[in-house]
Structure 1
Amino acid sequence: MSDHERGWHLREGTLCLRGDWTLGHHASLDAGLTGLRAKDIRALDGSELTRLDTAGAGLLWHRLGPSLLTLTQAATGLTDGQQALLLAVAGAMSGREPAPVCQARWSDGLARLGEYMHSGWRQGRLLLGFTGLTLSTGLGLLFCPRQWRMTALVAQMHQCGLNAVPIVALLTFLVGAVVAFLGATVLANFGATIYTVDLVAYSFMREFGVLLTAILLAGRTASAFTAQLGSMKVYQELDALRAQGLDPIALLVLPRLLALLLTLPLLTFIAIISGLFGGALVGLLSLDIAPARYLAIVQEVPLRHLLVGLGKAPLFAVLIALIGCLEGFKVSGSAQSVGEHTTSSVVQSIFVVILLDAIAALFLMEMGW
């Protein structure tokens, strides 16, 4: 490779640059720099250099290292722009140190576990404090009917409840049909396909109805709460409300909390009915169980199982609403923060719902309820 092709030549300790040191010639320049050693260079000459960009300056840095900064300051033949570019690249790269290569140790895993536990504990404290603040604000407004936000409450009930009816009904209908089909497949080996009706009824009344509905609303409504409040914080609308003497908790959080508290039990009941209807359809088409017979078996299920499922709904509604609103208030003021906290609210809501449902199932089973 000639001096012109590789873009440089060395003359009595002076590195003479020539031609174009740009991104388009990066490959050939990089290959031509293999024989260049930083210790052999005492000066820099750019009189034959035609063009230079950050790609070419970066190549010089990787070959010459920190000495590029001093060489550029005493260089000859460089234009003011070329010298400024080399100084900027050398100055920026000089502050970088190679990332240390460290081996993973068991103590690193313990450290991360400790960080996760501390983060979970801090989030629990924030949620508890936010719950107390919301309850105290709600009790303060209880005897002040003029400050009730009925329009906001109805609007949130429409958004959280009525608009969610189709997806809740469709999903639970399909899950009910799947549970009935799987139950019939297994119970057919024992000649007890009639008990498929009991399987669907018990599972949806106690667990599936409220659990599926809560998970759907955790992904649909909690994320909406976080995104709405987070966007308001980004655009400083929350600060504007406080400047006008309005309480964001009373104005924004309480209507959402009450709307979810009222609509989640109703959606849970719709989910139970849809799941039972899906099981009835499978029973009619695959098991030859007449609708009248199916309904008669469902009516024999004790009412307490339905009450257990509906009783979990208000607790799940409160937690989903509070987590969604709290994450919205924690947004720091950028679009990236809105996305991060929206994801966090969905994950936290689903995790809390499943965790509390498992604890409640174990407790109720031990109590014989």
Structure 2
Amino acid sequence: MTRTITALIGFVLLAGCSGGGGDSSTPTSAPVPLAQPDMLTATPQGILRGKANGQGQQEILQAPNLLGSNLFVDQGNIVYSRTSNAGDIWTVRTDGTGDHALLNSPNLEFFYNASWPWVIFEDDGVGTKSLNAETQAQFPIGWGGIPFRVRFKDARVIFSDDGYIYSETFTGTDRIVYVAPDQPEQNITSAIVEDRLVYRRLLFSPSSNLFSVPILGGTTLPLDSGQSYVSFGESLGARVVYARCPFVSGLRTGPCDVVSVNSDGSAPVVLASDPANEAVQGVTTNQVIIRRNLAGNDQLVAVPVAGGPEKLLMSMTDNEFVDLIVGDLIIVRRPSGTWSLDLNGTLTKLGTVVGDSGFIAVGNSVCVTKVTAVWCMPLDGSGPQVKIANNGKVVGVL
């Protein structure tokens, strides 16, 4: 089936909502692990494996251009593309053994995602396919458009594709269509919450809607009234947390509130509705972390995900940011370095490095990227901060 790829237009960016209102800008949350796992770091020369404290760091793979290539880690396997070699797709074990090509043809291949042993890729001039890395079997999959997002759930591949959202098995059978667009509109997968798919419908008019539908098919349920601009923030258990921003003039939005609702649309509750703009920063084990924009004297507050009294954690300037949430610890970027903030409002300095990207939890450490260098530091502030690579990015935690 041939369809025209619909471009997202600029109004989907919140004109009046700063500080993380968009779907992709919400800081990630992760549980605090008990063990100290190995991490994988891509560099211009290959892949390093070792501990976040610097111990055991060694190169397990020599391959160029991995910093700019797609790379996924799953079940002890790394799937990556060699961009210098016509986009061929390769795999190697996380111990560095068994490096070999999965796809090595004259065609240009681009892979979207991997859930071992399955790899979803685009075969130039042919279409989207799935590949079983263990048997080398290939199957046509999808409708032939260019997928905007590819996710996995319960042995199914979920595509967001030109406004359509649907899923198929890894072999391209048993298609379930969740939503087909009535032009002009765009549907975007926001999250998988338990056994339901949450998606956002963007209309080419001043409104948007949030819906959920069972992964295995069923009745689509609205999560919001659709009278405002909504933006998915986070999920915690069965709860969906999102920003709701009223339109005040044309495509301009007013201050955003934060709302929580069960993924089936029940038990909605407003978590924050101050006249100032409020943005979801992430979730702890049971709290939603919200930033209230107050012109240089912002408030960072915690509110129970199902509703309840808010707790002020700290005041924030315009050059302080929440970058990551690890269990019940909030990682805060400040001009003086990287800090942690607990739910009692206690700040602990972790290191002097001020990261600008690549924030990720690795065991009992947090790693950040500053310009190109990867640094890691213990979450309890015991130090020291350790440089893992002068030029790299963390691509996996084992």
Q: Using structure 1 for the length normalisation, give the TM-score.
A: 0.20
- The structure with higher relative contact order (CA 8 Å, sep 6+) is 1
